[in-house]
A and B are shown apart, each in its own frame.
Chain A
Amino acid sequence: MQLKRVLTLRTVVATSAGLTLASSSFVAAVMVANYVLGDSAWIAILIGGALCFLAAACFSELNGMLPTAAGIRLYFSRAFNDQVSLVVSLLYMLIVVVGVVGVESYIISQALHEVVPSIPPYFWIVTMLLLVTVMNLRGVKIAGVFQDVVTYALIAVLVFIGVFALYKVGFKLNTPLAPGGAVGIINAVALGVFLFVGFEWVTPLVEEVTQVKQIYKGMMIALGILSVVYAVFTTAMTAVVPKEVLLASPVPQLVFARTVLGGFGASLMVVMILAASMKTFNAGIISVSRFMYASAREHVLPAVFSKISMRYFTPWVSIITLFIIGLLASGLTTLTKNYQTLVGLAAAMESIVYTMAGLAVISLRRKEPDKERPYLIKGGYLIPGITVLVFAILAMAVLATDLTALLYMSGAFVVALVYVKTAVPRLKKKYETRRPAARRRRPARTAAGSKEGK
């Protein structure tokens, strides 16, 4: 028998690429360009994309072996242990939410503030977050087709503006293979990885496709498309607008579009920023609120997060908590204007997760050698090994050059570790002590239990 509704490869590609194509990606693209000399940002971007192919291969093997929407929570739990899995999952969700919501909301608010200067930027942040929160509370989902259309339209617009700009300025590569010193390149590649953040968030869809291979095919296609799109667009941005001007703006894509196409370009880019950010916000809140709900149900977060709306079947406490965290994150970003630290923080966290994905592949091959693997990375331990090495270096490079990001990361890690070591055992104990009274033993078990008791 077949599932009634299955996803197509088109939707898998759009989901993988769509989660990645956030408005904040262009801030990272400009930061990448700033680390390398001349017009060679494309080299760092393509290397970043190629490295993500390695991570995608690791995720594909894990996802094929353990096809579940629980994702890294299950992979790392099997490969290492439950505590490691929990610490990393909590850290990942927290940093991604704070990083992505903080940066995205800041960018939207700045873009809209440019269009309507009389309205303060924070008004836009509150409005957007409220809108997405209400949609999530009411269980309103952006239709799959609409998400596909937005993603493919965004890709088409970026390629069009990029190619048009390069044509308009008669672009020629002046320094095609001279990106500068090694430190600059390593940092550029590390931030280049941020451009692809989220491509692996498509793995939970494994339960909605007919064949597991559609997921890894989709991830690879998305990474290929994104590598080209980012490389073209970033090269065009830096060819048309001076790097220092782009770097000074939280919405470099808007500055670039206005320079190339005037008012029409700016309007088009504002629409694209809005669509991309709404899509990213929405996907982020859905994923993280479901993660919080599931964690509360397995008694690793307080039970209050498993409260559901009786009307809309949505985890309302988790959604409202995320709204508050989002407001705080974006408020702090607006006050400090330090959105670049959040980009670095998210890039480092993503690199850590990719490092652990490589380690998980190696560990599971040793622990469960006979388990069926629909997708097996060829070449033994070579690709997982390179993935571990490369992403560990990239994570360290980002954190070593941004001490504020290192401080935030260390603080968040300590909090997550202490929470998992102290609060989680208490929550589980509390549940266990309460549970026996409500437990509905099966008759057969009760009989077996009483026999054993005698």
Chain B
Amino acid sequence: MLLDKILESLFPSGHTVLVACGLIFGRGALADGDSIAVIGVDGRIPIGVDEAALLSGHVLDVIKSGGNEPILILIDSDSQRMSKRDELLGLNEFLAHLAKCLILANKLGHRTIGLLYGHTAAGAFIATALATQTLLALPGAEPAVMDLPSMSRVTKLSIEVLQEKAKSTPVFAPGLDNLAQTGAVAITLDPDRSLAHQLTSVLSQPVEREDSRDKLGKERNGRPKAADIAKRVYELARASV
């Protein structure tokens, strides 16, 4: 689904969302008359230090303007920008900072919602979509940790062998279904229905205090052990003091 169509369906009462150099900024009007801040990445651009700093600056502006305006982050990105300049300048700090800003916004009372409508991968995925409280996706979204050809190079297994193995487990291969099964994507939206209604319904659900993605991954048979291991360590640590 193209960004223009998505924005049209999300905000029938209007929006001020603009795209400049692949970055999305603006506000949309919700059905109840309130506004939602919109940021994101369009056109499958990579996220380097410059992009990350602009996005985090916008998140901080939303927090500073007070209130508890929700934040929607729309993602169709490449992975992190793989370059000497970005690593020289400390890309890990910029991506971590962006994730920190989104998570802090959440802690300070802003709902944060991600919407995957295209590609995303690796560090860009962690710093944006995976740093939101609720991650939504549209059919056709292509989240990936790493593409199969690169994975084939590193694991020294042929793409055919990897594709065969991917039939028995969602744990490693790219794709929306696999990431939904492991608990990363909470809800896949229906593009044939009003996105505004579906967004309103997500916003009206009570806020979960706990990160429940590991439990979701267990329920959906995507991550059999993470939730139990985390819980056991949690209980042992609490019992040690």
* A and B are interacting partners: no
**Residues in A lying within 8 Å of B, measured CB to CB:** none
